[in-house]
Amino acid sequence: MIHSLFLINSSGDIFLEKHWKSVVSRSVCDYFFEAQEKANESENVPPVIPTPHHFLISVYRDRIFFVAVIQSEVPPLFVIEFLHRVVDTFQDYFGTCSEVAIKDNVVVVYEVLEEMLDNGFPLATESNILKELIRPPTILRTVVNTITGSTNVGDHLPTGQLSVVPWRRTGVRYANNEAYFDVVEEIDAIIDKSGSTVFAEIQGVIDACVKLTGMPDLTLSFMNPRLLDDVSFHPCVRFKRWESERILSFIPPDGNFRLLSYHVSSQNLVAIPVYVKHNISFRDGSSMGRFEITVGPKQTMGKTVEGTVVTSQLPKVVLNMNLTSTQGNYTFDPVTKVVSWDIGKINPQKLPSLKGTMSLQTGTPKPDENPNINIQFKIQQLAISGLKVNRLDMYGEKYKPFKGIKYMTKAGKFQVRT
Amino acid sequence: MASNSLSYNDQGDRGLGSESTELGQEATAMTSGGGFRLFSADYKKNEDLHQMLESNKDSLKLEAMKRIVGMIAKGKNASELFPAVVKNVASKNIELKKLVYVYLVRYAEEQQDLALLSISTFQRALKDPNQLIRASALRVLSSIRVSIIVPIMMLSIKEAASDLSPYVRKTAAHAIQKLYSLDAEQKEPLVEIIEKLLKDKSTLVAGSVVMSFEEVCPERIDLIHKNYRKLCNLLVDVEEWGQVVIINMLTRYARTQFLSPWKEEELLDESNEKTFYDSDEDQNKNGVAAKQPYVMDPDHRLLLRNTKPLLQSRNAAVVMGVAQLYWHLAPKSEVNIVAKSLVRLLRSHREVQYIVLQNIATMTIQRKGMFEPYLKSFYVRSTDPTQIKILKLEILTNLASETNISIVLREFQTYVKSQDKQFAAAAIQAIGRCATNISEVTDTCLNGLVYLLSNRDENVVAESVVVIKKLLQTQPSQHSEIIKHMAKLLSNITVSMARASILWLIGEYCERVPKIAPDVLRKVAKSFTNEEEIVKLQILNLGAKLYLTNPKQTKLLMQYILNVAKYDQNYDIRDRTRFIKQLIVPNEKSGALSKYAKKIFLVQKPAPILESPFKDRDRFQLSTLSHTLNTKASGYLELPDWPQTAPDPSVRNVEVIQPVQEQVTPVGKLKGKKDNLGGKFYSDSEEKEESSKSSESSSESDSKNEDSSSSSSEESSDSESEKEKKDKESENSDSENNQAKTKSKKLDSASSSESEESSSEDSSESESDSEPDSTVKQKKEGKSALSVAKAAIKQEVSLLDLFDFSDVSTPVALPKPVMASRLATDLEGLSLSSTAVIDVTTPVFVPAKSYSLLHRMSGKGLGAEYHFPRQPCIYNTKMVSVQITLTNSSEKEIRNIQIGERKLASGMQMHDFYEIECLEPGASKTVSMGIDFCDSTQAANFQLCTFNDHFSVSVQPPVGELLLPVTTSEKDFRKEQGKLTGMNENSTAITGSPQNSSCQAIVHKVVNMANVGVVPSGQDNIHRFAAKTVNSGALVLITIEVKEGSTMQLSINTEKSVIGSVLLRELKSVLSQE
C-alpha cells in the first residue's frame, strides 16, 4: 500500500525518507514541489497528486509535509488517516512534531515507523503498544542508556497485541489510582452582519487521562445522553451497550486518550456566549477608514468568558492601523494584514472595545467586502450544550480510584461576518 | 532439510560472483564522487564507522548503527558498509539487531549475494520459542528482495501460516504479498496459503490476509464464500486498518453474489421482470414469505447490519468505507443513515475534509435528499482553504432546490464578495448553475448577476459576463434589456474574455437590439487595433453578422474593419479576415457558400450546459483513489454490476455452521444479560473457542479467558440451540419490518428531489402561472425596489452616448419579477447594502412539526401531511410557505394530483403546487405551495384532486407560523414596544417549574411554538423575541421576564390584537408545561 514516506520542511528540503518496499527515488517529490508552487499557499496543495508512475498523498501539519508514495489503488482516506496517526504518534513521543525533534530522534523515528507499517500495511498504530515496543526518549533514560548501553527497544512482545484488548498493556501498576475526564465543547458558528446566527453547532470531545492499576472496567453515564446526536468512539467502547442503554462501558487504555467525540444535534439551539458590535467602514476616495469593535458576553450561564482573542484579516489596501483599546493589547502585522486583539477576561460591567482608524493606500478603490472577524474564547466549568456526566463506576478491581471531571467550552471556528 | 541444503549450495555457487559485483559497485562509487574533497570526507567518516562496527563493544556498534540509520534517513548512500553491518545480524543486543534489520532490508536488493550471508540466522530465528523473534525473523526474511531465496521464503511462510501464535500468522499473511511481488509465478501455492489463512478465526489475522487476497488473487471470489459470514461477524473486532480492507472486499463480493435491492424501483423494464421473478424462486427456498417480490438475502442483510456500528469509528477511512458500502449495496431507503457520519468527518483535518467533500459531491448529484438536512454544514468559512471552499460551493449548488434556494442564494451573495477572488468567481458560476437548474429563480439570479456587472473587481465582472452569456443563451427570450445594459458596460470592462463575450452576445442577438448593435460596432472599430486577439476575433464575428442582417448601416464599417484586420500581426486574425471576407462580401469569384452565409453565421446555436464537474464521477467506486482523481488508477478493481440472477446462496453455508451463526446467543444467555449486551470482544472470543472444538485451530492456546466459557458451550444442548435458531429468525424478520417502516419515511426525502425535477420541466408554464396570482401591489413593490437599483446604474453609465437608450424609460433590467420581490432584494443586496433597522432574518432552526392533511384511509390510498418549513415563500411575500408530503400507500399508481376547487375566506390566496403526474405505489413526494392567510388562523379549504377522485382538505395554520422572524437591537425593540402599549399589549403571569426558567429552555420552547427571532438581551432574566406578521408586516414583540420563585411575566405587544391574544394563550400553555 504505502511505498515510501518523505518528510519535507517548509523550505522544501526532504529531511527524512523511509521506504517499506523497494526504494523510490526522491526525485518523485519534484511533482510535489511543482504542485506546491502552483498552489501558492501550503494549505492549498492538493492532498492527492498523480504522477506518471506513482501517486503522492500528503498531509500538512506543524509546518511539515508528510508525503506518502503510493503505487496502486488504495482508499486515499486510508493513507491520510494513517499519516495523521504518524504525526500524532510523533507528538506523543517527542512532545512536539517539529523538524528539530524528528532530526534529533531520527533513530527512534525510524524504529517507530518500522513498527507502524509492514510492507506498507499498518501493523501497530496503538500508542500503548508502540510505547512498549519502543520506549519514548526521556532525559533520564537517555543518560542511563549512554552509561549502561541499554536500549530503548523493548525486548518482549507487547501482550496487548495478542489480547482481546489490544489497546491496553498488561501489568499496569500505580500507587495513586486516578481517572480524569475532560469534557471540552467547541462552538462552531457563523454570525451574520446583523448579529443573528447563520449557522451554529457544538462539537465536543471527552478526553481522558486514566492511570489505574490492573484491568479496570469502567462505565460512564450521562444525565442527558439524548443530547449526543452523533458520536464516534475510541475502539475500547462497547458499542452495543451504548446503543441499548446509552452508557459508555469500556476497558480504558493506559494514559491519555480520546474516549469519545460527539456532535450535539443541530436541532438543539446553540447558545452563543459572546456578541460583537462592529463598525468597520471604508470611505470611497478617502485614505482613512473607521474600525470599531466591542465584545460583550451573552448567554454565558453566569460564567466568565476568558482567553478572548479577536483576529481579523484585513484587505490588502490597509496600510496601517491606529487603534486604542480599553482592555488588552492589539497587534497589527502590516505584511499579512492581520490584526489581533488579545482581550483576556471579559468584564460584563466594562465591555472591552477597540476603536480607531485605518490608513488606506490612496488611489485604490475601497474593498468590496468588510473583513471577517474570528473570535477565540474559553469558558471554564461549563459545557454549553448542557451535557452532564452522571457517574463513573469501576468494576473488576478492588481499590477505590480518585475520579475527576472537568468541563470547558471553547470557540471552535467562530466567525462573525461584517 | 533437503531444500535447505540446496539453497546453501546455491549460495556457494553465487559466492564467486559476489566479489566481482562488489568491485563493480565500488568502481562506480569512485567515479561518481563529483567533488573529490567531499567524497574523501565521506570516505573517512565511513572508515571510522567501519572501525566502530568491527569493535567488540556493543555500545560502539550501536552508536555506529545509529549514525548509519541517520544516513539512510537523509537519503545518503551507506551501501558500502554492507559487509561490516551484516556481520552483526546475529547480535544479542536487541536494538542493535533491529537497526541491522533496518539496514539489511534497505540494501539487500543492491547487495544480493552478501545479503545471503544473513539468511541462516533468520532460519534459525524462525524456530525460536519466542513468538516475537519468530515473527520479526519472518518479517525481515520476507522483506529481503532477493529472488534466489524465494524457495526459502515459501517454506517459511508455509510453516508460519500454521504457527500457534496468531501474531506470527499475521506476519505470514503480510509475507505473502511480499513474496508475490518478488515472484509472481509463485501464485498457485500462495493462493493455497491464503485459502488456509482465510479460515483463521483470529481477528488479528483477518485484516492482513484479506489484504493479501486483494493483492494476489482478487478474482478468486470463491475463496470468500465459506468465510463470508465469519468475516461479517468478526468485522467489529478487527483492527481499524483491517476493517477498511475487509469492507472494500466485501463490497465487491456482495455485488457479485446478491440481487440488487434497487430492482423494485427500476421495475419499469419488462425484460428484467422475468429474470427477476425467476431468481425470486431461488430465494424462496429459504422459506421466506413468497408474496413479496424482493426479499433481501439474509447474508446481504448480515453485512449491512454488521457494518453499521462502524460508522461510529474514530477512523475516517473506516467511516468512509462503510458509507461507500451502504451507497453501493444498501436499499435506497437505508443509505441516508451514512450522511450524518460523513458530515461529522468534516470537522477533521483539511485533507480528510477534501476527500469526504469530494465523495459527498458525487453523492449529492444523485441523491439530493440525503444531505439536504445538513445544508448548513457546508456553509463556507473565510478561513477554509480555497479548494475546500470550492468543493463546499459545489455541494451547496447541488443541494439547491426550490425549497431552499432563497437561503442558498443569500449565502452565495456573501461569497461573491469574498476577498478570495478565485472563490468569488466560482460563486458566480454557482449562481449561474442555480439559475438554470431552478427555473423559478432564473430571473432573480440574472438580475443579481447584472448588478454584479457594476462591481469594481474586474474578475468578478468578467465572470459575471461569461455566466450571463451562458444563461441568456439557454433562455433566449426577451432579454434584450440585459444585452443593452451590457453594451453600455463595454467601454468600462477591460477583461478581454468579458469583452469578447459581450460582443458575441450582441452579434448573436443583433436582431433584438437593432439600434445598438451597429453603434457598438462603430465604437469597437475605432479601438480595433488596441484590442486583445480574442476580442478582435469577436469584433470580426459581430461585424459579419451585422453585415448580413443590416448591410445598409454597417457595410462601410465592416469594410474598414476588414481592411485593418487584413494587416494584423496575428495570422489567426488575418486568416479569419480572409475567410469572412470571401464568405460575406459578394463578388464574382464567391462560390456557392456565400449564399448560405447567413445560415452559417446565424444558425441557432445549442445552449451550453452548465453542469457539475462531478457528474461523471459515479463511474468509480466511492472512496477510491480513482474517484478522487477521476481517472483509473492502476490496480483499480471495477465494481461489478449486480447479477441478474442470484448465485446459489448455499455456497456460504459452512459445515459446522453452529458456532458462527448461533452460538453467540446461548452462551450470552448463560453468562447473564450484561455480557450479552456489552461483550463486544467477549462474544468474539467465545466464537473462537467454539470453533476450536471442531477444527483444531491454535488460537485458543493464547486466549486467556477460555476456561470460563468453553464448558458452558458444551452444555448447550441441541434442542436449545434449535430454539435459539427460531428466536434468531424472528428477530431477523422483526428487523426487516422495521426497515420497511423506515423505508417509507426515507423515501419522501429522496423523492423530493424528483419533484423538483418535474417542476423544473414545467418551467415555461411557471411564468404565466404565477402572474395572475401576484397582486398589483406586489408588482409595484418589486418595481420600486428595482428602480432604486436602476438609478444607481444610470448614474454610472450616463457617460455613454448611445442614442437609442433614450427610449428605455422603463427600468433597466426588467424581465418581470416572477419571484417575490423579497428574493429580488436579496440579490440586489449584492451591490446595495440595506440600511433598514429591522430586518427579516433566517428563522431559528427547529424540527418541523407536521400535521395530517388527508388520511390514507379516507384518501383511498393517498395520504398527505403538511408542515411549515419556515422559509419566506418564494411565490409571494405575503404567503406562508407550506410543504405537503404526498404518499401513495395504495397498490396502484395515482395520477394527476393537483389542487382543485378552493373555498377560501375573502382576501385569502393560494399558490398551487405543480401537478404531480404520477405517484408510484409506496412512493412519496414533497411539494411546496404558498397560502396567504391574511394574518388570521382561519383554515384554508380546498380540494385535492387525483385523476379519478377529489378530497376536501383544509390547512389550519398555528398562529406561530403566521409570523416571520425579524432581528432588531434591544434599543429598537424597546422603542417599538413603547409605541405598542395599552390596547396593543397582552400580558399574563405564568408559574412554571424551575427547570423551565433556564434561558435555553425558554428560548427553545418559544421558538418551537412560533417562528420568531431572538433579540439579544442585556439582562439574563429578560428574554425578547420579535417577529412580524406575514401578510401585513405588523410587528409582534414578545417579552418574557423571569422573576423569582420561577414565575414569569409574559407580555406580547402587537397591533394585531387577535394574533396577540391567541399567541399569548398558546405560549402560556407551552411555558407552564413541564
pLDDT, tens only, A197-210 = 888 888 899 999 99
For residue B679, is pLDDT > 50? no
For range A278-299, the mean pLDDT: 84
The C-alpha cell 397582552 sits at B986
CB A120 within 8 A of CB A161: no
* Contact flag A21-B181 (C-beta cutoff 8 Å): yes
* Contact flag B626-A125 (C-beta cutoff 8 Å): no
Instruction: Give me B892's grid cell.
Output: 396502484
Fold of the domain spanning A178-270+382-416? Immunoglobulin-like (2.60.40)
Higher-scoring residue by pLDDT: B12, B315 = B315
The CATH number given to A274-380 is 2.60.40.1170
Q: Does B1020 touch chain A (CB under 8 A)?
A: yes
pLDDT, tens only, A51-108 = 988 999 999 998 999 999 999 899 999 999 999 999 999 998 888 889 999 988 888 8
CB B630 within 8 A of CB B246: no
d(CA B974, CA B954): 38
CB A57 within 8 A of CB A79: yes
Nearest CA distance, B965 vs chain A (angstrom): 11
d(CA A84, CA A90): 10
Q: Report B:595-624 residues touching A (Cβ under 8 A).
A: 623-624
Nearest CA distance, A370 vs chain B (angstrom): 9
Nearest CA distance, B342 vs chain A (angstrom): 10
Residue-level pLDDT at B816? 41
For range B149-167, the mean pLDDT: 90
Query: Three-class SS of residue B145?
Result: coil
Q: Does B350 touch chain A (CB under 8 A)?
A: yes
Identical fold at A2-148 and A178-270+382-416? no
d(CA B629, CA B355): 10
Indicate the residue of A106, A198, A267 with minimum beta-carbon distance to B69. Answer: A106
Please name which of B179, B180, B134 lies closest in space to residue B159, comparing C-alpha atoms: B134
Looking at the DSSP bridge assignments, the partners of residue B985 are: B1053
* Contact flag A22-B109 (C-beta cutoff 8 Å): yes
CB A185 within 8 A of CB A383: yes
Residue-level pLDDT at A267? 63
Task: Please compute, for residue A108, the number of CA atoms within 13 A of its CA located in the half-sphere on the CB side.
Answer: 25
Q: What are the residue ranges spanned by the domains of chain A?
A: 2-148, 178-270+382-416, 274-380
Query: What pTM value is reported for the model?
Result: 0.70
With cut-offs at 50, 70 and 90, classify the pLDDT of residue B482: confident
Instruction: Give me B483's grid cell.
Output: 444585452
Contacts of B698 in chain A (CB under 8 A): none
Mutate to test the interface with B, among A81, A243, A248 (most CBs of B within 10 A): A81
Residue-level pLDDT at A66? 95
With cut-offs at 50, 70 and 90, classify the pLDDT of residue B13: very low
- For residue B884, the surrounding DSSP H or E stretch is strand B880-888
Indicate the residue of B131, B312, B1013 with minimum beta-carbon distance to A231. Answer: B312
d(CA B11, CA B145): 15
- For residue B953, the surrounding DSSP H or E stretch is strand B950-955
For range B1035-1059, the mean pLDDT: 82
* Contact flag B171-A118 (C-beta cutoff 8 Å): yes
Residue-level pLDDT at B44? 56
* Contact flag A269-B131 (C-beta cutoff 8 Å): no
Please name which of B101, A167, B192, B184 lies closest in space to residue B172, comparing C-alpha atoms: B192
With cut-offs at 50, 70 and 90, classify the pLDDT of residue B997: low
Task: Tell me the DSSP string of B733-802.
Answer: HHHHHHHHHHHHHHHHHHHHHHHHHHHHHTHHHHHHHHHHHS-HHHHHHHHHHHHHHHHHHHHHHTT---
Nearest CA distance, A98 vs chain B (angstrom): 16
Closest Cα in chain A to B1003: A269
For range A150-165, the mean pLDDT: 57
Contacts of B1042 in chain A (CB under 8 A): none
Residues 6+ away with beta carbon under 8 Å from B859: B944, B949, B951
Residue-level pLDDT at B363? 92
With cut-offs at 50, 70 and 90, classify the pLDDT of residue A162: low
Comparing A38-52, A72-86, B404-418, B763-777, the range with the smallest average pLDDT is B763-777
For range B248-263, the mean pLDDT: 88
* Contact flag A110-B633 (C-beta cutoff 8 Å): no
Closest Cα in chain B to A71: B634
For range A277-304, the mean pLDDT: 84
For residue B1070, is pLDDT > 60? yes
* Contact flag A151-B95 (C-beta cutoff 8 Å): yes
For range A190-196, the mean pLDDT: 86
* Contact flag B376-A72 (C-beta cutoff 8 Å): no
* Contact flag B846-A249 (C-beta cutoff 8 Å): no
For residue B736, is pLDDT > 60? no
For residue B7, is pLDDT > 70? no
With cut-offs at 50, 70 and 90, classify the pLDDT of residue B846: low
Nearest CA distance, A57 vs chain B (angstrom): 9
Residue-level pLDDT at B764? 39
Closest Cα in chain B to A158: B132
* Contact flag A368-B417 (C-beta cutoff 8 Å): yes
ipTM, interface predicted TM-score of the complex: 0.91
Residue-level pLDDT at B549? 86
Mean pLDDT, all residues of chain A: 86
Instruction: Give me B322's grid cell.
Output: 462503510
d(CA B125, CA B586): 95
For range B572-597, the mean pLDDT: 79
Closest Cα in chain B to A284: B456
Architecture of domain A2-148: 2-Layer Sandwich (3.30)
For range B949-964, the mean pLDDT: 83
* Contact flag B316-A55 (C-beta cutoff 8 Å): no
Residue-level pLDDT at B517? 87
Residue-level pLDDT at A156? 55
For residue B703, is pLDDT > 50? no
* Contact flag A75-B211 (C-beta cutoff 8 Å): no
Contacts of B139 in chain A (CB under 8 A): 118
Beta carbons within 10 angstroms of residue B556's beta carbon: 12
d(CA B326, CA B307): 9
For residue A174, is pLDDT > 50? yes
Closest Cα in chain A to B97: A153
Highest mean pLDDT among A409-413, B283-287, B1017-1021: A409-413
Give me the total of CB pairs closer than 8 Å, taking one residue from chain A and one from chain B: 285
Kindly state the percentage of chain A with pLDDT values over 70: 92
* Contact flag B344-A230 (C-beta cutoff 8 Å): yes
With cut-offs at 50, 70 and 90, classify the pLDDT of residue B806: very low
With cut-offs at 50, 70 and 90, classify the pLDDT of residue B661: very low
Closest Cα in chain A to B460: A368
For range B335-364, the mean pLDDT: 91
A248 DSSP assignment: E
Say if strands B924-932 and B909-911 run parallel, antiparallel, or are unpaired. Answer: antiparallel
Residue-level pLDDT at A147? 60
For residue B430, is pLDDT > 80? yes
Closest Cα in chain B to A162: B167
Comparing A341-350, B248-257, B316-325, B986-995, the range with the smallest average pLDDT is B986-995
Residue-level pLDDT at B353? 94
* Contact flag A81-B379 (C-beta cutoff 8 Å): no
